[in-house]
Amino acid sequence: MRNPANGREVVIEAEPEEIYLDRETGDELEVVGKVLPLAPSKSRLPWAVENLRFCGWCGQLAQKDLNDCPTCGRRMGPLGPRPGDR
């Protein structure tokens, strides 16, 4: 959520259709991003940084033991350096 007045962002657990206010300023927050529950996955690895890699197609995170990206469905290449690593 973001306060459009000052750009402050907060991550909170929100209910649909509810209005959320900035705790400090009382401004109404706008939703700028959502964390969706994970779809059932073939991976048994917990969703933790050490188990995740970036899909080379869409750049989203996927568990390392998956061959196909759960986000875009395309086959991910062999494990390699992450994009941006050097």
* Residue 57 interacts with Zn ion (CB under 5 A): yes or no: yes
Rg of the Cα atoms in the chain: 17
Near Zn ion in 11-50, by CB under 5 A: none
Q: How many CB atoms lie within 10 A of CB 68?
A: 13
**Which whole-number Å values give the CA distances from 16 to 56, 69, 71, in the listed order?**
32, 28, 23
For Zn ion, the closer of residues 1 and 76 by Cβ is 76
* Residue 66 interacts with Zn ion (CB under 5 A): yes or no: no
Residues 58, 66, 77, 79: which binds Zn ion (CB under 5 A)?
Answer: 58
Closest distance between Zn ion and the C-beta of residue 26, in Å? 40
